[in-house]
Structure formats: structure tokens, C-alpha cells
Structure 1
């Protein structure tokens, strides 16, 4: 199997797996919220992990561990207590659905045909929270989040940024008020994420019953998951330059391997580990059936199987028919060039038969 679905999840780093093992064995299973020595040891490991994750994020804030980015985004949107919300048209469902739940009249900020939010887009009067992701999970476009944060603040609103696809790869917006992050998108374990909250900003908890995580998230934390998250974050910092160079070389190769396909999203303002392309008349369902030894996507993993055209591609101005002819290839740290070449050859042959 050739794995090309890095936007859905990334392979667990061996270093993260190793960091988790101690806290899964006979000497590390204690409850980190217990006062005895094993419990204090587990708690200390979690605090080391918290510092490692915090190193990916701006100074002047605190890291709150959650079950993942979806919970972190829910905590941010529902916990900040604002009534008027504005989000970009290409946000992940974790933002779009939660924002519409909190504010049924939620304002939607449009994107260009290249998949970018204009930093000069007017923010509706009375907006209390603006949410725009840093890197889009479907098409990889990088948004001008620092400029958008300034615009939100000028309008009297808080700014929330989903950095799930950018964390460990790009610097986060230093002026944001809240930032959501997920471990399994940066070679850490599934089941854990975090919300970074700027100092001085208060949130109301969503989960009650003990207040273990700084009073904002009740429930027993997993030292193993925290340790794996922390180790993965530390590795991202260590390998940031080499990872970026590797992805850049893979992107250049990938672009040469799909002549005649149309790129979705801006060619320059993007994370190059995401290649979203379309081909007129393509039957994507048949293509994926014919390429069962390649793991790739026809959209975001959370929307797979829905049968609906991508809301992201529709926001770019594509018709439903055009949106259904797109595929997404995601690659990164552990992808080999020869794997990409073999996958591209197989996809191209299958695509010819799926037209």
C-alpha cells in the first residue's frame, strides 16, 4: 500500500511511539491526577509534553489538552461566549458546523477562485469571533491569518485559528487569540489535541465533572497520548527544515507527474504537501476502486462517503460536476519519491480508463 493521505492523518513517528510505551506498561499506568508518587510521575510527564506542544505555538498563552482539534474548536467557539461569528467559506466542518450551531446567522467570508480569503474582506458589524484556518485541509492554501487577525481585532472581535494542517510546518499566527491543534496530523497519536488560549482570555468549560484540565476539561488525561503528542511536536521542531525541503522536492516531482490535470487552489500560497487536482470527465469513484493499493482521497476524510460535492471546491466557483472530478494526494516526511512515481503512474492509467 502506498500512503498518500497525509491530510487525513499522518504515520505515527517512531519517536512518538517510543515515548508512549513507558506510560502504557506496568510502571506507567497511574492516574496523573492522583497524589501518590506514580501519579505525580505521570503528571510530570504530561507537563513536559505540554511544554513541547507549547513550543509550536506563540508565547503568552496556555495549552489545554483535549481529545482532538474538534473538541478544541468546540471549546473555543462555544466557550468564548460570543453571539455573532464569522468564518471563512472553506473551514473544516468542525468550525462550520459548530459556528452555525452557536450562531445560526453565522457570516461566511468568501474566498477567491484560488481559495484565498482577502484580508480586506469586511467583517460584519457586531461580530465577536472570526475563525479562519491557516492551511486548508482539502486544497492546501495558506491564508493570510496574521492580517486577518489584525482585521478581526480592529472590528472588536476575537480571532480563532485552526492550525491543524500547518502545525509543525509553518509559524502560527502570533497575534491570534485561540489556536487549535491535533496530534495525529503531525505524526503523533490519535485521540489528543490542544487548544492554545492567549493569556487573559477566559473560557467556559464544555465538559463538567472534576475540572482536571485547568478547570476547562474534566476527565482523566492519558499520559501516553500526551507523551506521544509532545514527542511528535518536538520532532517537528527538530526536522522542520528537512521536512520542508523533502516536501518541496516531492511537490516538484508530483507536479511533473500529472500533465493535463488542473490544480485546485493557488499554486504559490499553499502547503506543498497537498496536491488537489481535477481532470474533466473523471469518474473518481471508479478511479479509487481501480487504485485500491494507493491510499488517497476525493476530499476531506470526515466527509468521505457523503456523496456531496466538496464545499471547499464549490466555494472556489467550481460546479458540482467539476468538484466531483477532483482527487487529493497528501505526502510528507515518510513518503519516498519512488512511491509517488509508482502511484502517479497507476492513477494516470486508471484515470484514462475512468473517463
Structure 2
């Protein structure tokens, strides 16, 4: 006789997970921030203890403002300006995710933000790739195999998106799986970077776009219909195009219907979305409605340091808020794996050989 594993954090941590939206500079260990600050001479940290620094990041990110949320990155980026620092941070990222049960992750970072110490864009990318290779090997040795793909990100307010897009193509056979743009949405529409997106499409390269987080439907429309995004980074504001009647009946607008019909993945980040004001609480997050309407929802952490979260805690919060069971968590995980930027056969192998067997053990 078989039995279902309890839906608690211990069991959820054992479940295989897929993470598509996680920022490398948003997931440092507080102890590592302190150590790198000492090693690099960075003297701007707002606290000098591990606990104090962790608390500062969380409280600063809880402002309800995306702009203030983004300001916390000055300190993590500030200590990531050497090759050694980048290798260490990437290695620890892979190991931390693997220990949390993540079997495939796509980690994103902006190379242009790590050149203040004299590194070239290419040297930045190569250091991060080296770190992930080191971290994946260490995780496998510890019994927690993980595969990590890199997304190189351009900043919306800058003018280097074409350069960064070229990096994505140059290193796509070395571990870079795609491209992204990030930063404050208001005033910086994705259409400012059309040349980068046209270049990527012509090169048969993958890309996602941060859209529909702090800004609404126009940002999502431009990302999809003007730029050709394959996924939406966050995309939570697609709910603005859905009307829910008193009896619970939902009517989708044309953009929402297009997103659902085309199976465009939504890289939803519940805790982060609450912090930046995109949702009032996890219980009120549009994730529940979007999942019920069968949008291709995925669960993500965004910035583990600022949100003090893991994939286990994000899934646990969704279980508590919406009463999800193991079959729901498996569906969200398979949604993410289907939506990754790996080749189809590689996606299928992870679904069939890792995810489904892993959940079968838990479901019983």
C-alpha cells in the first residue's frame, strides 16, 4: 500500500523543481556579501553582521516600490566586480539551488554591471560560466545534481542591449541559453531595444523580457507583439485584461486570451511581486486565478536574498494560499521545464527521467 507524502516544507524540498527566473546578483549569501566586501575593499555595506545584513536587504525590499527594490542591488553588484567574486557567487548559487531540490535553473545577470573593476564583458560571462560549472560539479558530488543555463541580461535604461545580445549568441554553445532585459519598466519600453531582438530572432536565439511587473498591459503587448518575447518575466499584470464576474466567471480580453492560447509562459514570482506592489499578498496573488484558467504559470524566486525565499518556501506559500496538491506542483514544474530554453529532447529527458519519477515517489 502506498501513501502520499505530507505537503510540508521537508517533503516539498525533496520534490524536483525547475526555476526560470532567478537573478544571480539577487541570490548571494549574506556571509558571502560580507566576505567579498572585505576582500574587494567595498566599504558601503549598510550592516556589518550576517544577520543584520540579511535583515536590511529584506526590509529594504519590502517597500512596495520596484524602484526602491532595485536599489538594494547596488551592494550585491558592488561586491561582484572581480573574476574571483563572480566565480564564487555563481558556484554558490548552483549549490544552494541544488540543495533546495532544483534540478534545472536558468540564472540571469547583466554583464554590463560587472565591469567596474576592469573586466571585459566576455571575461564577466566566462567567469560566471566557470562558477556554474564548478557549482554544478560540487552539487553532483553532494548527491544533488543540477543543470544551470545562463541568461545574459541587458538593462532597459542603458544602450548596450545589442552588445549583450551578441554575447548571448557567442556563448550559446558554452552555457548561455538566452537573453533578457530588466530594470524599471516605466519610461523604458522594450521597443527601445528592437535592434537587439531583431538580431536574436535572425540568429535563432531565445529571449524573455521583463514585462507586466510594475507596469501593465502596454508593456506586455510590446514585449510580445513588437519584440517577439518567448516568455514574460513576471507577466503578472496580464490579470488586468481578465474580468471576473460575481459568480466567478472569467472573461478574457484579447491580449490575455492570446497569452493563454499561445501558451506563453509566465515567470511568476509570488514573494517578489508582493514586495514590489504587484500583489497585496501571496493569498491575493493572481497566480491562483491564472493557474485555474490554465495559463502556463511557473513558480520562481526572482531574488532569493531580497525576498528571503527559496523555491521550497515559494511552493509552500502557494500550497497554503490556494490549497494546491502534489499534482498541481508537478504541473507547475513541468510547465517550467517545457518553457525552458533547452533543446526539446533535453527538456523531455528531464521531464521523463527526473521530474515525473521524483513526483511519483512523493505522490505514492
Q: Normalised by the size of structure 1, how large is the TM-score? A: 0.29
Q: Specify the structure having the higher radius of gyration (Cα).
A: 1
Q: Normalised by the size of structure 2, how large is the TM-score? A: 0.28
**Greater relative contact order (Cα < 8 A, sep 6+):** 1
When you count helix as a share of all residues, which structure comes out higher? 2
